[in-house]
Chains A and B, each alone.
Chain A
């Protein structure tokens, strides 16, 4: 059976992104630096009211990133499945018998030993993968009985 190859690039796991630690993630007992921290003010002076605390954006960012990755993965998977027919090797003209709907069982009956030859058109599956050209003749030879060396 040919080995299936999938040339489609797969999404690589995103590198960890440094996310500023929120106050809620700090260990208990630690002191959070205040936005207004500074030298102590003299008593009796008016104090500016702190701005209302905005929600921590980290959770939202993580959710958006995860959704994006999932969407891209789904798209790539769909493209890959459409580009490579099941059960065939790239550039391998094959025929086969369908075992079950949706799957193809490829039956490779023979390969060509010499390059440059055409498919025989026998109805059998073929893979055109000629081995390397012949090297120097081997010293021992199998031949038909009675054949002259």
Chain B
């Protein structure tokens, strides 16, 4: 993939204090933006080189975790018929986060829904897609679904050099999707620690570290109107660097016609079908991109009322929901971060 780099000698938003180098390219089927805040203009070139290096790492990670390449680590593990599969460090780390995300969201974030998602993408009848052998985890936040019979039927066993052995029911297939994007954004941001601040935009899932006296502005896309924004977050810095994560999930982009109406790509693990939801889009601000992505997806799958109940208690900084009737709602603590 070809990266287009632009060096920005001037602040790119009204709240910015430090000059910023910006590297834009494509990865994970979408846009990848790496923004590096530097102390002064003399550091811009070094920041540009760092951003390009991190972009290359992002593409390498994404290549191991994608479901769109049969040669990826993920798809090779999915294709392995055995119940115990060795996995390399990148996939092992992403799967560990997938397990944590499932615990965090009461099983709503479930990385084992590849077959259900592929079934939803087909126009065939959906009656046989209800999953078995997997169930929801105990609820960690009040309001999350609970009462499921068992944990997801897979686990990781640590092995040498940060690799692992994946124990699973034979045939259980993984789709990391947004789980991987949030995880990649956070991991890429950590590679930019030597700069005062940085922002990694992994196709809409964003990890941010904001330096003291600086601030990053991030808009929330309005899916109804191209180029429009529902709101703008302003994320200030702190003395040791404030970390944020912003992610958006929704059902208005990946949609297709099915035999009984439109379908979308967000599967409700409780039914194995595309979630019946009145949340068109959810944006969550949290302390990391991976957590924000998990909660945003959870909000969409749960639907408006349940989502508001859960987000009210969830360990997040804010959330903005676009309902199917056009209302734009936010949990109250969100307003602190809005422009």
Chain A positions within 8 Å of B, measured between CB atoms, are 107-114, 117, 120, 122, 124, 127, 129, 131-132, 134-149
Contact = CB atoms under 8 A, between A and B. Distances in A.
Nearest to B320: A113
B335 A143 contact: no
Contact of B33 (A129, A140, A148): A140
B206 interface: yes
Contacts of B247: 142
A111 to B, nearest CB: 5
A35 B283 CA distance: 87
Contacts of A145: 28-30, 177-178, 181, 203-205, 249, 253-254
Most chain B beta-carbon contacts within 10 A, residue among A129, A132, A139, A148: A139
A104 B127 CA distance: 48
Q: Considering the complex of A and B, which 4 residue pairs feature the smallest CB-CB distances, nearest first?
A: A138-B219, A143-B221, A138-B217, A113-B328
Contacts of A131: 231, 335, 338-339
Contact of A142 (B254, B283, B323, B332): B283
Nearest to B228: A137
B137 to A, nearest CB: 24
Given A110-B332, A113-B320, A114-B230, 9 more contacts: A113-B329, A117-B327, A131-B338, A140-B219, A141-B220, A144-B204, A144-B249, A144-B281, A149-B31
A144 B252 contact: yes
Nearest to A149: B31
A122 B309 CA distance: 12
A137 B283 contact: no
The secondary-structure label for the interface of chain B is strand
A61 to B, nearest CB: 53
Most chain B beta-carbon contacts within 10 A, residue among A113, A120, A124: A113
B35 interface: yes
B254 A137 contact: no
A134 B327 contact: no
A39 to B, nearest CB: 82
Most chain B beta-carbon contacts within 10 A, residue among A110, A114, A149: A110
Most chain B beta-carbon contacts within 10 A, residue among A109, A117, A143: A143
Nearest to B11: A139
Nearest to A124: B308
Nearest to A127: B332
Contact of A111 (B201, B217, B334): B334
A111 B312 CA distance: 12
Most chain B beta-carbon contacts within 10 A, residue among A107, A143, A144, A146: A144
B327 to A, nearest CB: 6
